[in-house]
Structure 1
Amino acid sequence: MQIQSLRSTFLRAVLLSGACISTASHVSAQTFINVGTSSSASSQYTYWVSVGQSIEAGTAGAVIPTIMETGASVDNLRRMKRGEIELGLATAEAAGQAYRAIGAFEGEDKMSDLRLLWCYAALPNIYVTRADAAISNLTDLDGKPYNVGIPGSSTEAQTRSVFQSLGINPDMRASATADAVDSLRDGQVIGFTKAASSANVADASFMEVNATLDVKIVGMDDSQIAKVIEDHPYYSSIEVPAGTYPGQDTPVNVLAVAACGVATTGSLSDDQVFDIMKAVFEQKSIQEDAYPAAKMVDFGALTTELSTIPLHPGALRYLAEIGVEVPDMLKAE
């Protein structure tokens, strides 16, 4: 497992001396937290590295995150259940499923103490295929080798759900993004699903492949989207505008996932979450530099619009402080 520590040389020296940093934050001494993210080749990993930097800067070193490469949303939620991480990336849909023990978490114990902190992006799941494979509709993937995403990710779970709803049966594989890209180049698969960082900006993995191999994105027609959303009401559709990708002359419709930060009421206290929220919101420019799609997002508005589970009490307190109205259904009883 690759772990990127955000501890600075100064902070390491302070720790070795046994000192604590005093801040105006609610956190009176240093708190170390493990943060679950995604594949290191993913733009989501890059974003969460910047979140770690924002938290460390915004709390003046009172909260020290260790950013961990993981299998993304579903994997992060299971790690959180096992007590391996305190904070992590999860899509709104995966969080909703874990909270209710449905979908990817059917048959498991409900994560009734799971709480959402903030949402920062609505990510389109794009279907990337080799241009020479002549795939014009998802149904053309039937029986063909296809990579459904990072194992344990919401992208993998959603892709499998889409294929099941539409009665499509590819030869499905799952791997980290870098391996999916290599497999596409080598002809081991004819395509892969990837959560892009924005509907309006070409995904970096697509552009990397397209530099040496002609690829394209395949969308979903209206009837396919309607069928999948009928089966999975927590999904939503999003349009990728014409011209976003090379050779894309018309808009492409796909499903979206909302990327959020989650924790449990047991993993982080109300005061700790308040301080983390304050740091993330007030140090947003750090995240925008690393993840440009964040520039177009109002974290508060997106959180109240897309959350599928109650918000953490510390998050509620911070949002109230900055004047964000939260629907009653997002407040735990």
Structure 2
Amino acid sequence: MRSVMNVSTRLLAALLVGLLLSGPVAAQDEAPLVIATASPAGVYHVVGRALCRTIETPCRAQPTEGSSANLRALRRGELEIALAQSDLHLYATLGTEGFQKDGADDSLRSVFSLHNEPFTLVVRRDAGIHRLEDITGRVVNIGNPGSGQRGTMLRLMDAEGWSRSDFRSLHNLPADQQALELCHGNIDAMVYTVGHPNASVAKAIRLCDAVLVDVEGDIIDLLVDAYPYFTRAWIPADIYGPDQPAVHTFGVKGTLVASADTDPDLVYRLVAAVFNDFERFKAAHPALGVLTPEEMIRDGLTAPLHEGALRYYRERGWLEPTEAD
């Protein structure tokens, strides 16, 4: 009798262990959706987290090196969905500028565009930098390799006819390090293509009384006129304090992109989740507050719309059945 009871006890224990293990194993079977963003200090990461909060599926906003790195990882099949600046979005689609060696990316797909990203020049107040041309001969942070800010700065340098020798030094710091380096006097200026308000910019202003400088001039006018992904932009007065004036500059748009191989149903559910609770999504950051669906499905998008996004836009009547094919 005792032997039978021991066997039954062992069987029951084994059954309980199996039941306990089955829950975590099942949960592990569903891999989370990863949305590649950029620096944790930037608006892209805030947007990525907001996107994850909208969709009812496991989701994680993943910090990365930035737009260029995201676009290349998408092409290699290492990512499903990512954020990228509209200028680099176009370069990757066509295989131009920094993507010449990669060639045109026929697998890149647009989902929607997002906030405006002004090109922001932040300088130490004592650096004697009052306009864009004053940064030559100085120590400037242009951003880490793979970042959107670096890509835009290199395009601007090319337009201005500047090379590295025109600067005392160009640094490659990521966005979450540049404010402290500015305050410590290790750099004179930093450039950042980002939505506002931004934590990195606010830190520089708060800790060492840094200032924002207008980015204007004939070259900027030519850039905006020549390239459709560049627009005139401004940073509103007072968002970094009562003494901060409005800043005039140029900028790009943030875009959400995917691979053509990304599951259409997944993209459809993400897009539907955003637009079905649009006000909640826009409330995630002030830079998102002025978004409209009409602009988001057209502006700043070079790659064809993803199948899943296209299905939703047509269901809502925002695109005609044959439009965007």
Which one-letter code corresponds to 1:52 in the other structure? C
Alignment counterpart, residue 18 of structure 1, candidates 26, 33, 53: 26
Give how far 1:70 is off. 0.2
Contact 2:75 2:107 in 1 (8 A): no
The correspondence of residues 297-316 of structure 1 with structure 2, limited to 5 A, is 297-316=291-310
Q: Which residue does the alignment assign to 1:181?
A: 179
The correspondence of residues 1-333 of structure 1 with structure 2, limited to 5 A, is 16-18=24-26, 30=30, 32-56=32-56, 61=57, 64-168=58-162, 169-170=166-167, 171-198=169-196, 202-229=197-224, 232-246=227-241, 247-249=243-245, 251-266=246-261, 268-325=262-319, 331-332=324-325
Shift in CA distance, 83/164, structure 1 to aligned 2, threshold 3 Å: same
Could you give the per-residue CA deviations for residues 80-125 of structure 1, whole angstroms, max 9, x where no partner exists? Answer: 1122111000122211110110012112132111110011211112
SS in 1 for 2:207: coil
| Structure 1 range deviating more: 96-105 or 207-216 | 207-216
- Percentage identity across paired residues of the two chains: 24
| Alignment partners' CA distance in 2, 1:288 and 1:179 | 28
Give how far 1:295 is off. 2.4
Contact 2:237 2:244 in 1 (8 A): yes
Cα-Cα RMSD: 2.5
| Structure 1 range deviating more: 173-182 or 228-237 | 228-237
Contact 1:229 1:235 in 2 (8 A): yes
Could you give the per-residue CA deviations for residues 138-167 of structure 1, whole angstroms, max 9, x where no partner exists? Answer: 111112110112431221100111122113
| Alignment partners' CA distance in 2, 1:155 and 1:212 | 22
Contact 2:121 2:212 in 1 (8 A): yes
Give how far 1:51 is off. 0.8
SS in 2 for 1:211: helix
SS in 1 for 2:281: helix
Contact 1:300 1:319 in 2 (8 A): no
SS in 1 for 2:289: helix
Larger Rg: 2
Equivalent residues, number: 300
SS in 1 for 2:115: strand
Give how far 1:271 is off. 2.2
Could you give the per-residue CA deviations for residues 40-66 of structure 1, whole angstroms, max 9, x where no partner exists? Answer: 12222122012112123xxxx3xx223
SS in 1 for 2:153: helix
Q: Which residue does the alignment assign to 2:11?
A: none
Contact 1:130 1:184 in 2 (8 A): yes
Give how far 1:273 is off. 1.5
User: Unpaired segments of 5 or more residues in structure 2?
Assistant: 1-20
Give how far 1:288 is off. 3.3
Shift in CA distance, 219/15, structure 1 to aligned 2, threshold 3 Å: farther
Which one-letter code corresponds to 2:173 in the other structure? S
Contact 1:53 1:286 in 2 (8 A): no
Give how far 1:235 is off. 1.8
- TM-score of the two chains, using structure 2 as the length reference: 0.83
Shift in CA distance, 19/150, structure 1 to aligned 2, threshold 3 Å: closer
Contact 1:39 1:150 in 2 (8 A): no
Shift in CA distance, 321/87, structure 1 to aligned 2, threshold 3 Å: same
Shift in CA distance, 103/326, structure 1 to aligned 2, threshold 3 Å: farther
Contact 1:316 1:326 in 2 (8 A): no
Contact 1:119 1:299 in 2 (8 A): no
User: Unpaired segments of 5 or more residues in structure 1?
Assistant: 1-12, 21-28
- TM-score of the two chains, using structure 1 as the length reference: 0.82
SS in 1 for 2:65: coil
| Alignment partners' CA distance in 1, 2:237 and 2:33 | 42
| Alignment partners' CA distance in 2, 1:14 and 1:331 | 45
Give how far 1:284 is off. 3.5
Could you give the per-residue CA deviations for residues 180-239 of structure 1, whole angstroms, max 9, x where no partner exists? Answer: 1121011111111123323xxx43322222222121111222413123335645322212
Contact 1:94 1:154 in 2 (8 A): yes
